[in-house]
Structure 1
Amino acid sequence: MLPTRWTARLWLLLLAMVCGGNASDIGSCQPQPSCQECIQSHPSCAWCKQLDFVQADGSDADRCAPRQELEHRGCLPSEIMDPHGKLHVLEDRPLSNSTQHQTITQLAPQKIALQLRPGEEQNFTVYFKRAEGYPVDLYYLMDLSYSMKDDLENIKRLGSDLLAALRDNTNSVKIGFGSFVDKTVLPYVSTSPSKWQNPCLDSNGVCHPAFSYQHVLALTNNASEFESRVSQQRISGNLDTAEGGFDAIMQAALCKEQIGWRNVTRLLVFTSDGSFHMAGDGKLGGIYMPNDGRCHLDANGFYSESHLYDYPSIGHLAEVLSESNIQPIFAVTGSRLPMYEELSRLIPKSAVGELKEDSSNVVQLIADAYSNLSSTVNLEHSDLPPGISIAYDSHCGALETYGRMQGGECSGVRVNELVQFTVRVKATTCLPGTQEVALRVLGVGEELHLQLTTVCECQCRDSQPYAHHCSRGQGNFTCGICSCQEGYVGQLCECKQEDLGNPENRCRDMNDTGPVCNGRGQCVCGKCQCNSHASGPFCQCDDTSCERHNGQLCAGNGRCRCGTCECQSNYTGSACACSLDTSGCLQEGVVCSGHGLCVCNRCQCDTGWFDSHCSHCLDCQTPCEEHRNCAECKAFGTGLLSGNCSASCNQTVSVLPAPTVNERWCQQKTEDGSLLIYLIEKDKTGSISITVKDKTGSSKQSTKLVLGLVTGLVAGLGLLLIGLYRGFIEIYDRKEFSHFREECERAQWNEVNNPLFRSATTTTFNPNYNQD
């Protein structure tokens, strides 16, 4: 598969370069006054530093052009400055086959120095192999509002089961614990003294006073310690259904030393049966200061300043989790599942699972979520310097994706399976020194560090201060051109500024207020030195403004002079697109098959004729159709030309009673519907004779007769079918009525003597009714 796929991609790349890339690149390279500006302007531009490359009346800006053009104009390859980007791998440790080694390597290479030329793309390959038994840190963050009372009892026995489940995948695992309720101000919690001390809904219960977030246990591999510390926790309570979980997640991610996060796979399990507060909700409690993204845990592990800072936004939370390389697992009850599924779509590398009402399935939920998260490989980059862009091509076995800007991704990656990412980096501007960019796989502690620099200077190695070439020391010589000392100007610093006065006035046409040399050249010593694509004393002629054909100036068959195409001898037209050759119109020595004119070496067909050589006709008469009317008129005196045969027909017509008919004979229908059979013959002098067979009888009468018989037959058949149907219905109705009469006669009772009828046993009269 790989050779075939890469071969196909290579061919596509070569085809794009040949058909489109070079043409567009060359067309984008414009003359520039210096080597540095030249190589920064476009990746196809090169600079010729050859001393005698520019003629006396030329411009140094013409030294900037595509390499092919410079070589064509006589610049030696060794004198062309055309720097390109380079890639140097600084560190490339081999990928680990197991976790038995002290250092596990899943990502390679680890450090690359990348030199970029503005506009030019560099690419390299990143390899990732998922190691078996990679270490895991899991921090359990639990909602301790009153509705989670039943869940807390199950969580107190969770430590051993959770460690055992994770150790099925890794030998190095640590677990920690934290809890949250909500901000300790109205309207989130009750601030009355009695409710503050005991916020339980049950008056007989004893609850912990409300708090925002408490870090209870740092990451440890001791299951007994986990169960001991969790068993000491008491349920608490708040007023609304939404909780302060975002505050807790933010502090758990930011307080790395207190939590004890290692540089391994980091999981944060968030369990709750409620919704969440987010940025802006703090205004309900008079909190306007945005979340500052810092750790604020006190000595007892409480987020004591939650009343000062608003809840974090989802975007802020996602950014902090991504920077901390933490993968959240939201274990929530079924009623809250849709809400957290939407939240998970906004947080990279997160998972959601349905938690039973008493959290009895939390261990299996965490194991399944960890398996799904670890089998998805997301390669992403840190913040990019201005002017740098990165795109990713993902090669995940048989599945490949190209050109993703957000990052590379492979799903369903198994243990010890190797996946690859092609990373394409491009700079659009020059960077100020070396810039660092980190690439990493989310959920894995390893990183690939890129050291980015740009190629924006020309290393010509020919610098000469006060060079003799520059008017005997009036300028410094570098990259083939003179940089004049103060007070001197000119291509070779040959003019004194004070002698010229205002030289720019001499480089404009009379009464012209536009740019010097019309923006197509440089004013040197009071004269315009035009760029290679301009001409005229003031560079007023743009030699690239002529008409184009098929994307080529003057169709490639002439030269553009001051906006007008000067065509080669065998071409004409405003764009030199019309060839005077006629070979393309000839077919068997005949121009356009005799049915058209040859214009610009192409046939323009007469009306009705078509194809490249006008050899086919649309709606043209055949010889049989052309001579039919004359044959009928002269033979029988009928048809469209009857009475006008002499003037319209000059053929010789004879009638034979019964000739032998073959495929040469014409058979045409006449106006009266009869069939006319005739033979057309042409002698050497061009005279036409027609032999006509007797006409067959008119077919109109027979057609009418047949049509009448068919119509009558169809009508009669229809009436017969209708009559049969009505007769069948009549017989069926009579039979059913007779059957009904027989059933009535066999009945054992009638309407008069009903055996079920009983007379009334009591009769009541109203004395006031009908008194009159």
Structure 2
Amino acid sequence: RVAFAVRESGQGISKMRWLGVYFIGICLSSILISSTSAQSALGSCSVAKTCGECLVRSPECAWCKSENFAEVENFPRCDLKSNLLDRLCLEEDIVNPENEATTTGDSPLTEPDSGTPVDELVQVFPQAISLKLRPGKTETITMDILQAEDFPVDLYYLMDLSDSMKDDLVSLRTLGALLAAEMQNITSNFRLGYGAFVDKKVVPYVEITPARLLNPCGPSATCEPPFGFHNVLPLTEQTERFSQEVGVVKSSGNLDNPEGGLDALLQATVCSEQIGWRERARHMLLFSTDSPFHIAGDGKLGGIVMPNDGLCHTDSVSGLYTEATTQDYPSISQLSAMMEENRILPVFAIGKASATAQDPYVYYEQLKDFFHEAYAERLTQNSSNVVQIVKDVYASITSGVKLEDDADKEVIDVGYTSYCLGAAPQKGVSGCEGLRLGDKVQFALDITLKNTSCDGDKRTFSFKVGPTAFAENLEVTIEALCDCDCSDNTIVSPDYCSNGNGSLVCGACTCFEGRSGRLCECDRDEAEGVDEACVAPDSEEKLECSGRGTCVCGRCECDYRANTREEISGPYCECDNFSCERYKGEICGGPTRGQCVCNETSWRSECVCNEGYINSNCNCSLSTDTCIAPNGRLCNDEGDCECGACTCRNPEKFSGATCQLCKDCPSECEINEPCVQCKAFGTGPYDDKQCDACPHPIVVVEELSDREGSETCVFTDDDDCSVYFTHEILPNGTYYIEVKEEKECPGTPEILWIILGIILGIIFVGLALLLIWRLLALIHDRNEFDRFEKERTTVQWEAGENPIYRPSTTVFKNPTYGK
């Protein structure tokens, strides 16, 4: 197999480690399914009659080209290689070609900062591989991808010049220089171009009166005449010309809301020479509009019925689309295919429509899903975020790698496993995210050629696989191994083929017309219809040899099975030893119950049961060992033992495997209590005779074992002691009981401690009652005091004089005082 080493030390070791895990997983999977695939392969191999047919049947099939091989036994020449060797076919006589892989293009990847010219950059390794594959046999190859830094970028700005975009046009005149400067920061090898579109110059898309054709905006404004597509500025490294060209462009106008954007997109895609797309560069096409688009078929409204031919019709001198009025709009699938073929990445930058129109963004959000890779972004009111959109999209496309192939899925199947920067292998994933320029990732490709590759005369196939945005890819050429090399050494009319009645090809006879048989020994032509001599008399399908053998000279030769223990037999191959009825997935219940043999009277496969088993699939055992209940009785005396299983007579009351479970009956614990008492402790209701009749062994142990399937029981005996025991049914069917040696009995109480406890209890209760009384009294007093304080603060006092009050002294005034 082909494996290409990763050359980076740290990342390479991790990748190789995961690659090793991947191949180990493949080997383990192959081992696990080898038995199944071998059996299915042999059933397909044995019917092949030629070496070429043998190779196509299954990748496990091999062909023995020895002339003497068929004379040993009537074994098929096409078989598993191991079977051919076991049947004495020599190694050198076995035709079993293996897959081959040869690297025919192995230029190493360009390392970062190597200064390699653009035309010599290598981002894909290897570049070409030649494979020789057997149909159905998978070949795994690896592929390295490294995104080169400073890789060239071509950006073509395609703008809607209808009058509703005039504000965006004014803004674009100032943004051109900024856009060029930002892209120069990303890559020094940058080219910028500009194109514009309106719609087809026919009714009902534009008004065709002479005045309106010259100025579609009317007398109140000045506009450019309408046009389908105009390549204003081809891609150029002189990015300053972008602002100059946009500065002299004026908006135009049309009648209906949808524009002719698909026409412009197709011309900008297929006109590589006029636009200036470079072969080795990333191609970005920024499409700016605020309106929906016309689609294929809309041209009929304007009398245009000729379908779009998908070719370039942009004049090299004027830059105008010349077939706008004669060809219909392209279909979306047509445009998508052209963009994928030319590696164009469309970016739909959509502005807002007027308040009365539907938001056009919803159309382009759905449109991008029809392209192999596309983006849809919203523009601000005046397209001022165009630069940011371009930066974000470029960062997005360079942060990931996604592989695509153009293999014919009817013939070739390609599976992917990714190894992304040392991460675990991801089977079925063909891409990696979170990358930076200069990062290297690896992919494993599982390539399988289908059997349909050998149906025709074509034996060579090819396909390409690579990242969607790259011009580089891996070219895989496949030669289908549908024929054997020994076929070139055909011997015509040898004596080996019944004295010249056929040709000897790879050790087998290919009979002439009118002859048949392994050695062309029969004078009948087995190609003409069905040989009635090989059809069973009672066959409704009228198949030769019951469809499981080959009719040779009127006699059936039955096919062989991958499992040598399986045989097909009978005069018409109608019998075998592997098609009998099954029980629990095994033929006749397995070798311990019976064997599948062929009844030579009826020539039908049937089971012959071993002693102790009956029925057509030997599912019924005559033994009653599995019907013994825990109490030693057959089905607990409540059922019948049929085919080793109990059928309870009263299923509403009794259930369980041996009818041992009873809803209204004592439990197993209750049933075994008397035996446990008498056997373990010599107590209980049973006398000696009854104790001796206990059916199950009882073992006294220090500690009960906690085994799965055992049930723990406990009961109280006459001494008020707790007795613990377990019961279970052992794998051999024995009912087993374990009893704990020591009972758990309550101890004898001491009177002093009881009296002391009572006294202390009375004291504690008295103290508790006293504390409760004191607490209640305190609460009551506090409530009374609070009520008194409240009444005192709310009382109102009135001032007044007592009418009967007289002072105790009399005041006299001296009339002569002061004179």
Superposition TM-score, scaled by structure 1 size: 0.74
Partner of 1:295 in structure 2?
A: 312
User: How far 1:390 sits from its partner (Å)?
Assistant: 1.3
Q: Does 1:411 align with 2:456?
A: no
Pairing of 1:4-15 with structure 2 (within 5 A): 4-15=17-28
Whether 1:420 aligns to 2:436 is: no
Answering whether residue 103 of structure 2 is matched by residue 69 of structure 1, we say no
Secondary structure of the corresponding residue to residue 418 of structure 2: strand
2: CA distance between counterparts of 1:54 and 1:694?
88
Other structure's SS at 2:222 match: coil
SS of the aligned residue for 2:249 comes to coil
Q: CA deviation at 1:93?
A: 0.8
Q: Over residues 86-115 of structure 1, what are the superposed CA-to-partner deviations in whole Å (9 max), with x where a residue is unaligned?
A: 221111111112453341111111111122
Q: For the structure 1 residues 192 and 506, does the alpha-carbon distance in structure 2 shift closer, same or farther, using more than 3 Å as the test?
A: same
Match of 1:759 in 2: none
Residue 393 of structure 1 and its aligned partner are, at CA, apart by 1.2
Secondary structure at the residue paired with 1:95? coil
User: Structure 1 residues 50 and 370, CA, compared in 2 at 3 Å: closer, same or farther?
Assistant: same
Say which is worse superposed, 2-11 or 30-39, in terms of deviation.
2-11
1:519 is aligned, of 543, 547, 572, to 547
Q: Which residue of 2 aligns with 1:128?
A: 145
CA distance in 1, matches of 2:683, 2:420: 85
1:66 aligned partner, one-letter code: L
Partner of 1:457: 483
Give unpaired runs (5+ residues) of structure 1: 586-590, 598-602, 611-617, 653-661, 681-689, 698-712, 747-772
Structure 2 Cα separation of the partners of residues 397 and 104 of structure 1: 21
The amino acid that maps onto 2:105 is E
Deviations 1:447-466 (A, max 9, x none): 22111221111223653222
Match for residue 138 of structure 1 among 155, 164, 170:
155
Q: Secondary structure at the match of 1:270?
A: strand
Which residue number corresponds to residue 11 of structure 2?
Answer: none
CA contact (8 A) 1:349 1:373 kept: no
Contact 1:351/1:373 (<8 A) preserved: no
In the TM superposition, residue 446 of structure 1 has moved relative to its aligned partner by 1.1
Partner residue in 1 for 2:699? none
Q: Indicate the residue corresponding to 1:169 in structure 2.
A: 186
Shift in alpha-carbon separation, 1:647–1:571, aligned structure 2, 3 A? closer
Aligned to 2:497: 470
Comparing 388-397 with 424-433, which one deviates more in the overlay? 424-433
CA offsets per residue over residues 717-747 of structure 1, 9 Å max, x none? 9xx9xxx9xx99xx89x9799799959x89x
C-alpha offsets along residues 409-443 of structure 1, whole Å, 9 cap, x if unaligned?
Answer: 11222121111111111122225132221112122
Match 1:388 to one of 394, 412, 417: 412
Work out the CA distance in 2 between the residues paired with 1:474 and 1:6: 55
3-state SS, counterpart of residue 322 of structure 1:
helix
**Structure 1 residue 482 corresponds to structure 2 residue 509:** yes
2: CA distance, partners of 1:504 / 1:620: 71
Match of 2:212 in 1: 195
Contact between 1:325 and 1:443, CA under 8 Å: does it hold in 2? yes
Q: Work out which of the residue numbers 520, 525, 540 in structure 2 matches 1:493.
A: 520
Among residues 626, 630, 650, which one is paired with 2:674 in the alignment? 626
Counterpart AA for 1:5 = W
CA distance in 2, matches of 1:193, 1:113: 64
- Structure 1 residues 141-168: Cα deviation after superposition (integer angstroms, max 9, x where no partner): 0111112112222333454433332222
1:116 to 107, 129, 133: 133
1:531 aligns with 2:559: yes
- In the TM superposition, what are the counterparts of 1:245-394 in structure 2 within 5 Å? 245-263=261-279, 264-282=281-299, 284-285=301-302, 287=304, 289-298=306-315, 300-333=318-351, 337=361, 339-384=363-408, 386-394=410-418
Q: CA deviation at 1:256?
A: 1.7
User: 1:221, CA displacement in angstroms?
Assistant: 1.2
Report the equivalent of 1:509: 536
* CA distance 1:338–1:400, shift in 2 (3 Å): farther
Distance 2:612 2:443 in 1: 53
Question: How large is the RMSD of aligned CA atoms in angstroms?
Answer: 5.0
Deviation per CA, 1:589-617: give whole Å up to 9, x if none. xx9999899xxxxx99999899xxxxxxx
Q: What is the distance in 2 between the residues matched to 1:213 and 1:200?
A: 18
Give 2:229's aligned amino acid: Y
Cα deviation per residue 1:514-535 (whole Å; 9 max; x = unaligned)? 0222222222222222222532
Letter in 2 for 1:524: V
- Structure-2 separation of matches of 1:367 and 1:165: 8
1:47 aligns with 2:63: yes
C-alpha contact 1:669 1:675 (8 A) present in aligned 2 = no
Question: What's the CA shift for 1:235?
Answer: 0.5
Amino acid at match of 2:383: S
Give the aligned length: 668
SS, match of residue 178 in structure 2: helix
State the Cα distance separating 1:127 from its structure 2 match: 0.8
Please say if residues 596 and 606 of structure 2, whose CA atoms lie closer than 8 Å, have aligned partners that are also in contact: yes
Q: Is the 1:595–1:605 contact (alpha carbons within 8 Å) kept by the matching residues of 2?
A: no
- Structure 1 residue 171: deviation in Å? 2.6
Matched, 1:34 2:50: yes
Show CA shifts across 1:165-191 (max 9, x none).
Answer: 222232322222110112333443333
Matches within 5 A, 1:730-741: none
**Does 2:574 correspond to 1:540?**
yes
Q: Distance in 2 between matches of 1:401 and 1:95?
A: 22
Q: Which amino acid aligns with 1:139?
A: Y
> Which residue identity lines up with residue 413 of structure 1 in the other structure?
L
Task: Quote the offset at 1:629 in angstroms.
Answer: 7.9
Greater shift, 142-151 or 335-344, is seen at: 335-344
Distance change in 2, residues 1:216/1:549 (3 Å): farther
CA distance in 1, matches of 2:92, 2:235: 64
Partner of 1:152: 169
Contact 1:287–1:307 under 8 Å retained in 2: yes
- Cα distance change of structure 1 residues 108 and 180 upon mapping to structure 2, 3 Å threshold: same
Corresponding residue for residue 208 of structure 1:
224
- State the one-letter code of the partner of 1:232: V
**1:438 counterpart residue number:** 464
User: Partners of 2:789 and 2:306 in 1: how far apart?
Assistant: 95
Distance 2:527 2:363 in 1: 78
Ranges in structure 2 where 5+ consecutive residues have no aligned partner: 1-13, 353-358, 562-567, 599-603, 635-643, 648-654, 659-665, 694-701, 705-711, 726-740, 749-764, 798-819
- Letter matched to residue 484 of structure 2: C
d(CA) in 2 for partners of 1:42, 1:551: 28
Pairing partner for 1:106 from 94, 101, 123:
123
- Alpha-carbon separation, structure 1, partners of 2:169 and 2:461: 49
Q: Secondary structure at the match of 1:51?
A: coil
Task: Report sequence identity in percent.
Answer: 33
CA apart distance, 1:130: 0.9
Matched to 1:468, the amino acid is D
- Do 1:547 and 1:574's aligned partners in 2 also have CA atoms closer than 8 Å? no
Distance 1:217 1:398, change over 3 A: same
Structure 1 residues 484, 740: CA separation in 2 closer, same or farther (over 3 Å shift)? farther
CA contact (8 A) 1:112 1:449 kept: yes
